[in-house]
Structure 1
Amino acid sequence: MTTTTATRTRGRAFADAVRTEASKLWSLPATWLLLGGTLALTIVLSIAFGTSANLGPGQTVNILDYGVTAVTWTQCGFFLLGVIASTSEYIGGQIRTTLVAIPDRIAWRLAATVALVPFAFVAGFLVVGASITTILLTTGASVTEADLGLAARIITSAAGYLTLMAVLSSALGFLIRRAIPAAAILLVYLLILSPLLQSQNWYFLPDIASYTLWFASIPDTAPPALVSWLVLLAWTLAFLIPSISIANRRDT
């Protein structure tokens, strides 16, 4: 009887921690400004790509590829979302209050991750969906011209990728504990290093591997989807596990 009660108590405590972390994430003004800006920029870029595209009838694959092109740039917003989610704890000493409320630090880091996942996935689904919809509208393509099954797979895969990268960047932000250095590292990689490395087909890098999952046209040299997902998961765990370990040993 005692063991069952203790187990339920731990489970209830973890559920409460998840709700607390979700509430903090929802209450951050920076969260909504960032996601709102990401959505707006995605739509603007999609309009620009759509109006400049020269797409003939029946070129469904090209339409879908154009539909996610903007996200290759605005994915930065999801990396920054993860950084904000973790580093906001260190603004004004909020981390001390959090640790008093949730003394189990491993449970705290896991709860913060669990709270971030659905938030990032829904946001990613909306952003990618808006990008493809904008392209269809600006190019004058009919919905019937698009492969809806393929579009659904692309949107879901892209949302999954953006979610994993938000978790990765959250872990990096926690390890560094400073928003600007963590954001700088991620943006330098995404905006400078990654474009230079794409021609090398380095599919062991997370963003390059992900393109095989959410682009309709996939190079012959690309690995299978399962391998790409394993690459993304490996990169995410490579940052998440150390962040949980350090959380258990760090004073604040």
Structure 2
Amino acid sequence: MSAPSSKKITRILGAELDKLVTLPMTWLTLIGTFIVNLVLAAAFTSVGLQGVAGTQSMLNIGFASIGYLQAGFVMLGILATCSEYTGGQIRTTLTTMPWRGFQLSMKHLALAIITIPAALIIAASGVLYTYIKMRDTAVGFEIDTMIKALFGATGYLALTTLLCAAIGALLRRTTPALVVLLGYYFVVSPLVSDYLPGLKRYFPDTAGYYMYMPPSPDEINVFTPMQGTGISALWTLIFITIAIVFYCKRDA
């Protein structure tokens, strides 16, 4: 089958954006993640103000919630690619847009268009709350460092969403994808860090951590933000490529 023209590619992207924007779970997930992030930011800031966590920098406290709120972006990625399989809408999609590789690629691009500003707003809300509450007491605060870290956190959450969307496209079912990915991020990855710390830094979540959070002074063999970005992006591209290959070869 011949490749679609540029106009058709634009229409495919528009259709994928329209599907994501009109999917109620997209907004419920993002709103829920935003609220949870503010609650966590308030909790971590309160602990920091009480001195329970020691003299942590505002950067550490402001981004402490990222490890938890990434669950919302994991869900967003899974829903973006699995939702059409629930009611069989995928057959209609493939009938009207038979260029499977382009269609899945545009779905990921549409997801990135929605996720990047959402991730920036959500991550910034937690940092802003921490800044308002701790601007007179936090140590080690530099506005340039905070801005760089904020963009790093946004990039990490966006890459996580796209990676999970690719895995969702491979599994094609929401519940199994949620079990696998949430199990990895919150069970498998923490366990691996205890037994294989040298290997774990190459995992997408650990490499992504270095995109926004500077390592502690006693850490060794750490990645720079650029190295962390490269490794996380490589994982994402690999899984998107695998998802597209399987998507083009399997039945709906």
Contact residue 215 and residue 222 of structure 2 kept, 8 A = no
Residue 213 of structure 1 aligns to a residue in which SS?
Answer: coil
Q: Mapping of 1:122-141 within 5 angstroms?
A: 122-141=117-136
C-alpha displacement of 1:242 = 1.1
C-alpha displacement of 1:217 = 4.1
C-alpha displacement of 1:61 = 6.9
The CA distance in 2 between the partners of 1:85 and 1:12, in whole Å, is: 23
Residue-pair matches, total: 244
Q: What is aligned with 2:166?
A: 171
Contact residue 150 and residue 216 of structure 1 kept, 8 A = no
Q: Summarize the Cα distance change of 1:229–1:93 in structure 2 as closer, same or farther, 3 Å threshold.
A: same
Gap regions ≥5 residues in structure 1: 1-5
Going by fraction, where is helix more abundant, 1 or 2? 1
Q: What is aligned with 1:191?
A: 186
When structure 1 is superposed on structure 2, of 130-139 and 105-114 the one drifting more is 130-139
Q: What is aligned with 2:203?
A: 205
Q: What is aligned with 1:3?
A: none
C-alpha displacement of 1:213 = 1.6
Q: Summarize the Cα distance change of 1:141–1:180 in structure 2 as closer, same or farther, 3 Å threshold.
A: farther
Cα distance per residue 1:15-72 (max 9 Å; x no partner): 110010011001111111111111100110110110111488xx99711111000111
Q: What is aligned with 1:13?
A: 8
Matched, 1:245 2:240: no
Percent identity over the alignment is 29
C-alpha displacement of 1:138 = 3.0
The CA distance in 2 between the partners of 1:66 and 1:18, in whole Å, is: 38
Q: What is aligned with 2:212?
A: 214
> Given residue 207 of structure 2, which amino acid in structure 1 is its aligned partner?
A
C-alpha displacement of 1:198 = 3.6
Residue 109 of structure 2 aligns to a residue in which SS?
Answer: helix
Matched, 1:33 2:31: no
Contact residue 61 and residue 217 of structure 1 kept, 8 A = no
The CA distance in 2 between the partners of 1:70 and 1:224, in whole Å, is: 21
> Given residue 204 of structure 2, which amino acid in structure 1 is its aligned partner?
P
Report the TM-score when normalising by structure 1: 0.89
Q: What is aligned with 1:92?
A: 87
> Given residue 183 of structure 1, which amino acid in structure 2 is its aligned partner?
L
> Given residue 227 of structure 1, which amino acid in structure 2 is its aligned partner?
Q
Contact residue 63 and residue 136 of structure 1 kept, 8 A = yes
Q: Mapping of 1:40-51 within 5 angstroms?
A: 40-51=35-46
Q: What is aligned with 1:229?
A: 229
Contact residue 156 and residue 209 of structure 2 kept, 8 A = no
Q: Summarize the Cα distance change of 1:198–1:141 in structure 2 as closer, same or farther, 3 Å threshold.
A: farther
The CA distance in 2 between the partners of 1:233 and 1:25, in whole Å, is: 22
C-alpha displacement of 1:246 = 1.2
The CA distance in 2 between the partners of 1:27 and 1:223, in whole Å, is: 39
Cα distance per residue 1:117-146 (max 9 Å; x no partner): 121111111111011111122335489x84
The CA distance in 2 between the partners of 1:231 and 1:35, in whole Å, is: 26
Q: Summarize the Cα distance change of 1:141–1:22 in structure 2 as closer, same or farther, 3 Å threshold.
A: farther
Q: What is aligned with 2:153?
A: 158
Contact residue 55 and residue 139 of structure 1 kept, 8 A = no
The CA distance in 2 between the partners of 1:80 and 1:29, in whole Å, is: 13
The CA distance in 2 between the partners of 1:176 and 1:215, in whole Å, is: 31
Gap regions ≥5 residues in structure 2: none
